[in-house]
Structure 1
């Protein structure tokens, strides 16, 4: 297999790759930016600081290094396009969400854009804040605070609510305030701040029942199974066509939070061994279905 064929094979799963003549040989462009070339049967890659370097060795490794150089250059260009505004700013913002390594700085820039006069760009910035939460699984505290401010905005409110939901879904172990999108039973430490925060977001007719001192409950697996069955009975409906019990969006959500003063993770095998219960540890919580 020739060097060109080996490079093609290495780039097979890369998106937006194009082959063009260049450097006296063949250059492979990645999303319009020169990435790697084959010249006189030698591999040439992008070099830090500009230009090209002839290299030998593992092609995949050199492709990754060359991609890092390209991305670093692109990030600088994308920031300039975002500052300039206009049509290019939209694509630049989306690209930065995927590739900018300075994640905290990026979030602060997006927050600034949400306050700008360009409402279309502000709306995209709100969406991008949701994407950051989904990709990174964490956001700055001021991001959620800003999204809360925007919920009542006539233009940005719906997008802000979607972004908040996207962030919550990917940055928190459970969602008490999203109907039918949480574990049915959640073990949490007594007085847990996240439980209190999310309980405050739950709106009627949904119900969250907090049970204190769950460590004192006798026959705990049997008790939890009873709670799971109660949730299923009150929030699900039998689909006669498929013969399955399915979540019914028309019914209010119901979840139980059991405050457990002890080793919550130690309960996982105990509950998983009990009939149809499934228990999963996430952070310092135990989620049960």
Structure 2
């Protein structure tokens, strides 16, 4: 394998990539920024300050360090573009959402842009993306999105972002029309206890069944519960397809199970009948 082929293998996880002629050799350009190349039969990599040096040590480590240098410079440039609010600001916001290491400050920046006439819609979208990437958001994000739900122009974007945030930062949503319909949880689970008041405030119906480990014919019992949830939350459309009826309250069952919840997954999972997914410590069924 030639030196250039080794470099190509080392940068394979990055993209989009372009090879350009530079310094009398070949340099790999990562989304507009050169960061590694082969010149005079030697691998060179970017270093802080815009310079280059020969790669030393493990090639993959050298490439990763060079990519980190470029990325740090890109983050600074993207923030400048976002502040300028020009044509590059859209792409800059998306790039920051994926790459900015200062996640809390980025969220505050996005919250400040929600009412921006040009960038507001994308700011809502990026908050949802952040929740999906990181699995968490700042405490002020959800209340701020809820404040905007009744806004005639921004409400639809706030609702979409709120859904993304809730789905990606909670193991399940007892206060929403959502999967799963049946949840196996340890007795006295703190997450269930936290969500029960939210469900009550939203008008959702949550039935907690204690000592589910003592129930006979557990599979048939859970199938009947899922059917009940479907009957109570869905309505047939003109073509006979069952759809969630937003006029009906959300409905969920929580089965407290004092035992090995993970072991229930193969018992209950049947793609033609029940879908059961174990996400420790919960088993979600629909």
Aligned length in residues = 274
Q: What is aligned with 1:144?
A: 142
State the superposition RMSD in angstroms.
Answer: 3.1
Aligned-partner Cα distance in 2 for 1:157–1:234:
27
Q: Please, which moves more after superposition, 28-37 or 165-174?
A: 165-174
| 3-state SS in 1 of match to 2:284 | strand
Is the 1:45–1:66 contact (alpha carbons within 8 Å) kept by the matching residues of 2?
A: yes
Change (3 A) 1:283 1:102: farther
Q: What is aligned with 2:5?
A: 5
Change (3 A) 1:131 1:270: closer
Q: What is aligned with 2:254?
A: 258
User: Of 121, 124, 143, which aligns to 1:123?
Assistant: 121
**1:14 deviation in Å?**
3.3
Is the 2:234–2:244 contact (alpha carbons within 8 Å) kept by the matching residues of 1?
A: no
Is the 2:135–2:169 contact (alpha carbons within 8 Å) kept by the matching residues of 1?
A: yes
Q: Deviations over 1:253-284 (max 9, x none)?
A: 76432262x63x62342464258555444354
Aligned-partner Cα distance in 2 for 1:201–1:88:
41
Change (3 A) 1:126 1:250: closer
Is the 2:233–2:251 contact (alpha carbons within 8 Å) kept by the matching residues of 1?
A: no
**1:100 deviation in Å?**
0.4
- The alignment status of 1:16 with 2:22, answered yes or no, reads no
- The alignment status of 1:213 with 2:210, answered yes or no, reads yes
Q: What is aligned with 1:241?
A: none
Is the 1:272–1:278 contact (alpha carbons within 8 Å) kept by the matching residues of 2?
A: no
Q: What is aligned with 1:267?
A: 261
Give ranges in structure 1 of 5+ residues lacking alignment.
239-245
**1:157 deviation in Å?**
1.4
Aligned-partner Cα distance in 2 for 1:54–1:43:
6
Change (3 A) 1:30 1:216: closer
Change (3 A) 1:275 1:47: closer
- The alignment status of 1:96 with 2:96, answered yes or no, reads yes
Q: TM-score, normalised by structure 1?
A: 0.81
| 3-state SS in 2 of match to 1:38 | strand
Aligned-partner Cα distance in 1 for 2:94–2:284:
34
Q: What is aligned with 2:242?
A: 248
| 3-state SS in 2 of match to 1:87 | coil
Q: What is aligned with 2:47?
A: 47
Q: Deviations over 1:162-217 (max 9, x none)?
A: 111111122211234443x3112123455611233145335xxxx63413534586
**1:6 deviation in Å?**
2.7
Aligned-partner Cα distance in 2 for 1:25–1:122:
44
Q: What is aligned with 2:74?
A: 74
Is the 1:17–1:28 contact (alpha carbons within 8 Å) kept by the matching residues of 2?
A: yes
Q: TM-score, normalised by structure 2?
A: 0.82
Aligned-partner Cα distance in 2 for 1:30–1:164:
33
Q: Please, which moves more after superposition, 267-276 or 166-175?
A: 267-276
